[in-house]
Structure 1
Amino acid sequence: MTLPLTLDSFLTRFQLQPPPPSPGFLPARRQAAVLVPIVARPEPGLLLTRRAPWLRKHAGQVAFPGGMRDASDPSLCFTALREAQEEIALQAQDVRLIGTLPVVGSSSGFQVTPVVGIIPPDLPLQPSADEVDAIFEMPLQEALRLSRYTSLEIHREGMMHQVWLSWYQDYFVWGMTAGIIRQLSLQIMPELAT
């Protein structure tokens, strides 16, 4: 039986296990960032959103708060915090940034930097009516269990792409979001692979 993952053990593992370097093969792309919010509970949670069903891109998908870097953004960490404020009313002063995960390429042509931050529990978050359909929290230990993710190979633009998918309650977690969660798990919780 696995011991419960605490916030202290998560932080220790995250800080002691640096992520692998970002792949060098990503072509120059537009930059974006997402915030990976870890909720500071005795058994921490992972905060996620479901995008509004009427959006032109990625409608209805489970995602982290985030988006494209504006020319005026001084950093990608700033981008992640700005987007989280716009999408779910998460204030920058409520986020303790602890690091980043390897950059990933998105199907929509962005180079995305996942920014990991710790947030207090029970904040008065509010989904943006224009962008977000739902905000929900998943137990972090459950999110990081590698065996919950299934691999699917998709043929797109003449190449095979590996996509990860999983369900949590009524939420279908897949694509880049599932890949980011798996990467976080591989970095800090390899013993939970089963």
Structure 2
Amino acid sequence: MTKSEFLSQFHHLRVTYSEPDFPLKKTGRPAAVLIPLIDYGNSLQLLLTERAHHLKHHPGQISFPGGAVDETDNSFFAAALREAEEEVGLPSTHVDVIGMLPKYRTISGYEIAPVVGFVDPDFTPVIDKNEVESAFEVPLAHVLDRKNHLVHNTHRNNKTFPIYFIPWQHRMIWGATAAMLRNLSHHIHP
């Protein structure tokens, strides 16, 4: 998939299916992540991070650059870009933000705004080892292909909730990150 093919599918007026998220009893803590797409001309790659192994919450989990919205952030877009710069050294001047997917609520009490943007292919990650163990790229076509998605249903309070998994080489993309990629897949390939 090229950048122009992605944009023609991303900017449509159809209402698309979204995966069920966690039904919070109150408004979730605002957070934002960047879905960073690197345009190599003939293909798009997705930049993901592996969270640092010493973190208290979700150590080693595969995620997008992102985090909680700060008081200094004037929008979800600003929060996603700030977090990407803090975690992987991605300057906001190297990102062309094109939009946002529907917010996704998590069992940990966050309401995450997934911001989508194209990243300059000349960008080289500079990892903040306090937050990120590593950064790596995955072909966007792989994570958007729902044939590569695995679904496991779990039960909580007599309700069933899906947990999504997307294997990639020796890594497993799962949880909220996989669910947001699944929503992007529904948006691009309804």
Structure 1 length normalisation: TM-score? 0.89
Structure 1 counterpart of 2:168, one-letter code: Y
Q: In the aligned structure 2, how far is the partner of 1:87 from the partner of 1:173? A: 18
Q: In the aligned structure 2, how far is the partner of 1:158 from the partner of 1:127? A: 41
Structure 2 counterpart of 1:151, one-letter code: V
Q: Given that residues 143 and 166 in structure 2 are in contact (C-alpha distance below 8 angstroms), is that contact kept between their aligned partners in structure 1? A: no
* 3-state secondary structure, aligned to 2:11: helix
1:30 alignment counterpart: 29
2:8 alignment counterpart: 12
Matched, 1:152 2:152: yes
- Note the aligned Cα RMSD (angstroms): 1.9
CA shift digits 1:123-177 (9 cap, x unpaired): 1211111010110101111111001011111223553211111210111100100
Q: In the aligned structure 1, how far is the partner of 2:159 from the partner of 2:51? A: 27
Give, in angstroms, the shift of residue 188 of structure 1: 0.8
Provide runs of 4+ in structure 1 moved above 4 Å: 17-23
* Long gaps (5+) in structure 1: none
Structure 2 counterpart of 1:15, one-letter code: H
Structure 2 length normalisation: TM-score? 0.91
Change (3 A) 1:90 1:19: farther
Structure 2 counterpart of 1:16, one-letter code: H
Structure 1 counterpart of 2:161, one-letter code: H
Change (3 A) 1:94 1:54: same
1:47 alignment counterpart: 47
CA shift digits 1:71-115 (9 cap, x unpaired): 121011100000000000000111000000010011210000000
Structure 1 counterpart of 2:133, one-letter code: D
Structure 2 counterpart of 1:65, one-letter code: P
Of all paired residues, the percent bearing the same amino acid is: 38
* Long gaps (5+) in structure 2: none
